[in-house]
């Protein structure tokens, strides 16, 4: 580890981290997918998690999101330990993830995709549903209006009645981001939001993510498109073979030989 | 002939109620409950023992306990039993297992239950089953045919009530979450949905509705035995949901009508040729072929799940327009 690796999990700000990944390891049989990974994310910041294919980024994201239990280590979010908690707890605490592929509810409309994400809706319990439309209609209308605002910001307003499964790959990624916003997140975990997306949609996603940061939402971005990472992230964590090999800003990180060697396949 | 129509009407209505319960589990939430007929049986047996009276007063029939409760208590208790059983079967099969394995566990649970009830004569009279189950509304002093039509009418009212409950659930934010669980479990969890809780909820509600259909049926026909709730019966209800259109209450009702009314009862009208078991075989062959054909060529059924649109602006604008019109009229 060198100076920019920040051995104390690399917290750049003085405020308490929103997300703290502390010495997390994940082993599948004899394979260590994640090996003693530590880093943290401050409130309202954008951190990139990059590395070559098979580096363990997506597994790390699944651990943070509660989908995979780590073999050892801790994940704390907003003061609460997420390891051992039910997988849905992370989202309820404000940590919402998107998926690399197929994260949409295909046979639900775009609007329904967004409304599903609203936490604690009226009419979402059995009694609330049985109480009838009058009980939950007003609150749903308010959420529909909010969803239309979000869709308008992403230029998807005309797609609200389309089935999410009928959209293009890029539009689905936008729907996922829009849906995550309906969940009122403190932080988003984004798994390759730009992958397989045409340039104009990728630009739109990038602008959206930049806007989220200014709205105070922290982002952890797993992405192969390094140009976007450089433009968006003030700090990146580089993984290779399950371990963190570097951490710092993009300019620092990309000049390092070990990063170039691992990430770009260059030899020292 | 009128007598036959009452039987047909009852089977269709009971089939619709049962198919709606399965639709909530399978059509809306994606739970492949291959033990569904078990809940129908639970309701039937519960109503039977709650109306037959004490076992000592029931001649040669053996059952573990009995009471003689008035309508509608046996039906209500049956629904409660169906709900509790739904949660119990759900806890066994839905946690820690993926969808296909869940379905296998449920099928096994259904088989075990049938064998247990058949083998244990002292529990619910074994393979012979229970008979001479009293019918409700006995003090109405109607002719037999009028009584049967009255029973049909009561069942129709119950069917409407079940429809309203299902409509409220499936049309609400709860229904939307259930469909999200069906479409993408991982994404639903990532948005904070307790997927197991949602599935248990549909197991409870669907179990209660299935039990209600069994309770009604057993009091109409007056008998119930393990041969009437073997696991293929579950697939008859799946056929109704698949043919009609999973996720569409009207479609599922149409499917139940087609399956119960045309394919099951229709084959009974076939001329008796060859082996006497031929009709039964034709029923199941028809059902199997129908399921396959629909899954190949029309997987969303005759009436597919409808697209849900949100019309808040139009609805909120209308009263405003009326207010403006009144204001303009006043000058």
**Residues A128-184 pLDDT 10s:** 999 999 999 999 999 999 999 999 988 899 999 999 999 998 899 999 999 999 999
Is A11 part of the contact surface with chain B (CB cutoff 8 Å)? no
Mean pLDDT of the region A201-216: 89
Nearest to B187 among A103, A112, A163 (CB): A103
In a domain, A47, yes or no: yes
**How many other C-beta atoms are found inside a 10 Å radius of the C-beta of residue A163?**
17
Give dist(CA B256, CA B238) in Å, integer: 9
Which residues in A lie closer than 8 A to residue B179 (C-beta atoms)? 105, 107-108, 112
In a domain, A174, yes or no: no
Nearest to A136 among B165, B173, B312 (CB): B173
Statement to judge: residues A253 and A149 lie in one domain: no
Give dist(CA B205, CA B82) in Å, integer: 8
Give the domain extent around A79.
3-104+180-264
Beta bridge partners of A244: A239
| pLDDT, position A1 | 36
In a domain, A147, yes or no: yes
The segment with the largest mean pLDDT, out of A213-217, A229-233, B37-41, is B37-41
Is A132 part of the contact surface with chain B (CB cutoff 8 Å)? yes
Give dist(CA B13, CA B260) in Å, integer: 9
- Chain A residue closest in CA terms to B186: A103
In a domain, A175, yes or no: no
Statement to judge: residues A119 and A98 lie in one domain: no
Q: Mean pLDDT of all residues in chain A?
A: 88
Give dist(CA B310, CA A146) in Å, integer: 13
Rounded average pLDDT per 10-residue block, chain B, 331 residues: 87 96 97 96 97 87 93 97 97 84 91 94 94 88 91 97 98 98 95 96 98 97 92 91 96 93 71 73 84 93 94 56 60 46
Statement to judge: residues A99 and A8 lie in one domain: yes
In a domain, A36, yes or no: yes
Statement to judge: residues A86 and A60 lie in one domain: yes
Q: What is the CATH number of the domain that holds A221?
A: 3.40.50.300
| pLDDT, position B328 | 61
Is A81 part of the contact surface with chain B (CB cutoff 8 Å)? no
- The answer, yes or no, to whether ipTM is higher than 0.85 is yes
* Tokens matching residue A159: 């797609």
Q: What is the pLDDT of residues A74-98, one digit of tens each?
A: 999 998 999 988 889 999 999 999 9
Give the best residue of B95, B191, B203, B246 to mutate against chain A (max A CB count within 10 A). B191
Judging by beta carbons within 10 Å of its beta carbon (0-12, 13-18, 19+), is residue B64 exposed, middle or buried? Answer: exposed
**Span of A86-95, A210-219, A254-263, B103-112 with lowest mean pLDDT:** A254-263
Beta bridge partners of A31: A28
Nearest to A136 among B172, B187, B191 (CB): B172
| B105–chain A nearest CA distance, Å | 23
Which residues in A lie closer than 8 A to residue B194 (C-beta atoms)? 86, 88
**Span of A114-118, A236-240, B200-204 with lowest mean pLDDT:** A236-240
Domains of chain B: 2-330 (1.10.3470)
Is A31 part of the contact surface with chain B (CB cutoff 8 Å)? no
**Tally of domains within chain A:** 2
Statement to judge: residues A99 and A188 lie in one domain: yes
- How far from A23 is each of A34, B191, B199, CA to CA, in Å? 10, 26, 35
- Judged by CB atoms closer than 8 Å, whether chains meet at B190 and A96 is answered as yes
Nearest to B191 among A89, A96, A163 (CB): A96
Nearest to B191 among A86, A111, A117 (CB): A117
């Amino acid at each position: 580890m060198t100076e920019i690796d920040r051995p104390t999990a690399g917290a750049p700000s003085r405020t308490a981290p929103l997300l703290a990944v502390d010495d997390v390891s994940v082993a599948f049989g004899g394979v260590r997918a994640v090996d003693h990974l530590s880093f943290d994310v401050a409130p309202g910041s954008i951190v990139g998690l990059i590395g070559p294919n098979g580096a363990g980024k997506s597994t790390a994201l699944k651990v943070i999101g509660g989908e995979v239990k780590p073999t050892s280590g801790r994940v704390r979010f907003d003061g609460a330990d997420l390891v051992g908690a039910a997988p849905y707890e992370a989202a309820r605490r404000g940590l919402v993830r998107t998926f690399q592929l197929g994260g949409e509810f295909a046979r639900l409309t775009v609007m329904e995709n967004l409304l599903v994400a609203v936490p604690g809706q009226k009419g979402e319990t059995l009694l609330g549903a049985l109480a009838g439309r009058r009980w939950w209609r007003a609150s749903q209308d308010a959420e529909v209006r909010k969803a239309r605002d979000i869709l308008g910001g992403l230029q998807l307003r005309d797609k609200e009645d389309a089935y999410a499964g009928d959209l293009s790959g890029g539009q689905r990624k936008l729907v996922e981001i829009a849906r995550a916003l309906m969940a009122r997140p403190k932080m988003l975990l984004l798994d390759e939001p730009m992958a397989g997306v045409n340039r104009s949609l990728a630009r739109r996603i990038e602008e959206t993510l930049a806007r989220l940061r200014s709205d105070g939402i922290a982002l952890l971005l797993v992405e192969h498109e390094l140009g976007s990472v450089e433009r968006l992230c003030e700090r990146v964590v580089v993984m290779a073979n399950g371990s963190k090999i570097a951490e710092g800003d993009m300019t620092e990180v990309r000049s390092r030989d070990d990063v170039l060697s691992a990430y770009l396949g260059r030899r020292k | 002939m009128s007598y036959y129509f009452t039987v047909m009407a009852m089977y269709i209505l009971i089939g619709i109620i049962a198919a709606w319960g399965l639709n909530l589990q399978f059509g809306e939430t994606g739970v492949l409950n291959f033990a569904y007929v078990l809940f129908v049986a639970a309701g039937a047996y519960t109503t039977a023992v709650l109306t037959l009276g004490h076992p000592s007063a029931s001649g040669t029939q053996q059952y573990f306990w009995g009471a003689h409760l008035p309508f509608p208590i046996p039906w209500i208790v049956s629904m409660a039993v169906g709900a509790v059983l739904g949660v119990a079967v759900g806890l066994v099969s839905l946690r820690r297992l993926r969808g296909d394995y869940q379905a296998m566990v449920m099928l096994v649970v259904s088989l075990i239950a049938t064998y247990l009830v058949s083998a244990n004569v002292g529990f619910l009279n074994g393979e012979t089953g229970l008979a001479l189950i009293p019918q409700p509304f006995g003090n109405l002093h109607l002719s037999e045919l009028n009584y049967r039509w009255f029973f049909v009418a009561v069942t129709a009212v119950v069917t409407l009530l079940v429809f309203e409950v299902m409509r409220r659930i499936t049309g609400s934010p709860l229904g939307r979450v259930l469909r999200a669980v069906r479409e993408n479990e991982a994404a639903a969890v990532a948005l904070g949905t307790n997927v197991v809780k949602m599935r248990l909820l549909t197991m409870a509600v669907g179990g209660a509705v299935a039990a209600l259909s069994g309770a009604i049926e057993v009091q109409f026909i007056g008998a119930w035995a393990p041969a009437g709730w073997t696991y293929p019966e579950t697939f008859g209800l799946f056929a109704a949901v698949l043919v009609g259109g999973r996720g569409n209450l009207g479609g599922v009702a149409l499917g139940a009508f087609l399956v119960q009314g045309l394919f099951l009862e229709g084959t009974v009208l076939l001329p008796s040729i060859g082996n006497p078991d031929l009709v039964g075989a034709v029923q199941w062959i028809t059902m199997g072929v129908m399921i396959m054909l629909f899954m190949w060529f029309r997987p969303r059924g005759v009436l597919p799940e409808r697209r849900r649109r949100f019309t808040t602006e139009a609805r909120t604008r209308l009263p405003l327009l009326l207010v403006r019109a009144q204001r303009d009229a006043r000058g």
